[in-house]
Amino acid sequence: MAASSIAPQAPCPLPMPPTKPLTLPIDIEHFLAEYWQRKPLLIRNAIADFEVPLDADELAGLAMEAEVESRIVEEAGGAWALSHGPFTEADFQRPPPWTLLVQAVDQFVPEVAALQQLAAFIPQWRADDVMVSYATDGGSVGPHFDYYDVFLLQGEGERLWRLGQHCDSSSPLLAGCDMRVLEHFECQQECLLEPGDLLYVPPGLAHWGIARGECTTFSIGFRAPARRDLLARLTDTALDSSNADNLLADPQRAGADRSGEITATDLENARRQAIALLQDEQSPHWFGELVTEPRYDLKAGDVDEADIRALLKGETPLYRDPTGRLAWTRQGDDLVVFANGASCDAPGAMLPWLTDFCARGQADCGDLENLHPQASGLLYFLLESGAACIDG
């Protein structure tokens, strides 16, 4: 592996879709009903004649950049060592086995971002990033499990995957290790992935990938908010919209037998009335803003009136920024658009345009204002939030 530095792409690389849409050769409804978040699935030749969009040298170049999150994992005699980037060329001359992991490569290489089309049947707000790994012969990150879904697409070379038991937060981890390596691994299945093969691994399933010769793997990951974060956001919304004068009520109270006692009935009555606040109809902002919060810091550019005029005149298209997160939902006859943790209201009549923009990654805005007088406000929001950008 000869590490050669390459410059990251501009903050808003233009979409470079493959010559034909990437789709998995499976029955999607059957997959969602039988496998999604339930059990693993091996898909042979998921991408026929797969042309790897990033080789090992280019990956090493990214790992040498300060703004890119990268790690190197080594193992010797059962002991694991973890190093964090940015790295130098000398870091890649270490004795094998070792593995290089580079996070969020989709934010720098449009062809890698295009691999997320393989799972386009999962909403975009559930997508996380595409991590790319390179490993020398025998390289591995050890037996582990994730709390999220992942599609493991084999690039160059071969990797043997061992699948094990189902795990959770109580599963013991290797003591004194900087990584989440399982203390015990019960191999129940093995599969050797070749270029273009894909392995779906659901949350909580122990897995262990071991390189057979030099290899690269593209990990298309998903994310979901923690339930306690959901509760916190929903509770905050309920508190903001509730009336402080609405007090605990107990009109059917029985007489107290023991002064000072809080009975089980009292507790249940209080719990029921508190939960009722959460069950009241809330605006969708609490959820949409949470699930679109960016994982990395974004640097949205300034937007001026000339940018908006150029868009509305059709002089330049609007592009999705692959580093941003964008979603929308209906609210009555209108829309609420979410981008990188913020939100904006939009007329429901803009739904076809917005749907096309989310699906294609770019859209023509010419005559948009004539059709929708509020269009300029949405364009401002998309640009200022960092969810969209203009060519040039």
Tell me the per-residue pLDDT of 172-208, one tens digit each, with 9 for 90 and over.
Answer: 999 988 899 999 999 999 999 999 999 999 999 999 9
Domain spanning 28-222: CATH superfamily: Cupin (2.60.120.650)
Q: Both tokens of residue 155?
A: 């690039």
pLDDT of 48 > 70? The answer is yes
HSE toward the beta carbon, residue 83, CA cutoff 13 A: 16
Least confident of 144-158, 233-247, 335-349: 233-247
Q: Both tokens of residue 132?
A: 């790319």
pLDDT band per the 50, 70, 90 thresholds, residue 3? very low
Residue type (1 letter), 92: F
Residue 300 CA to residue 203 CA, distance in Å, equals: 33
Residue pair 172/184 in contact by the 8 Å Cβ criterion: yes
- Across the chain, what does the average pLDDT equal? 90
- Single out the residue of 267, 268, 143, 151 nearest to residue 208, CA to CA: 143
pLDDT of 246 > 90? The answer is no
- Single out the residue of 153, 138, 137, 130 nearest to residue 44, CA to CA: 153
DSSP state of 2: -
pLDDT band per the 50, 70, 90 thresholds, residue 225? very high
Question: Between these two residues, 212 and 78, which has the higher pLDDT value?
Answer: 212
pTM over 0.85: yes
Q: Look up tokens 């916190």; give the residue.
A: 232
The predicted pLDDT at position 105 comes to 95
Terminal alpha carbon distance of the chain: 35
- Single out the residue of 296, 327, 298 nearest to residue 389, CA to CA: 298
HSE toward the beta carbon, residue 34, CA cutoff 13 A: 8
3-state SS of 310-347 is HHHCCCCCEEECCCCCEEEEEECCEEEEEECCEEEEEE
pLDDT of 12 > 70? The answer is no
Q: What is the DSSP code string of 226-275?
A: -HHHHHHHHHHHHHHHS-TT-----TTPPPPSSTT---HHHHHHHHHHHH
The predicted pLDDT at position 19 comes to 53
Fold of the CATH domain 292-390: Malonyl-Coenzyme A Acyl Carrier Protein; domain 2 (3.40.366)
Going by their DSSP bridges, the two strands 127-135 and 98-102 should be labelled as: antiparallel
Domain ranges of the chain: 28-222, 292-390
In percent, the amount of the chain with pLDDT more than 70 equals 93
Q: Look up tokens 């399982």; give the residue.
A: 182
The predicted pLDDT at position 18 comes to 45
Residue pair 334/295 in contact by the 8 Å Cβ criterion: no
The predicted pLDDT at position 324 comes to 86
Averaged pLDDT, 226-243: 91
Tell me the per-residue pLDDT of 86-143, one tens digit each, with 9 for 90 and over.
Answer: 999 999 999 999 999 999 999 899 899 999 999 999 998 999 999 999 999 999 999 9
pLDDT band per the 50, 70, 90 thresholds, residue 391? low
Tell me the per-residue pLDDT of 283-341, one tens digit each, with 9 for 90 and over.
Answer: 899 999 999 998 877 666 678 888 899 999 888 899 988 778 999 999 999 999 999 99
Averaged pLDDT, 221-242: 92
pLDDT of 73 > 90? The answer is yes
Q: Look up tokens 């390179």; give the residue.
A: 134
Least confident of 20-24, 269-273, 374-378: 20-24
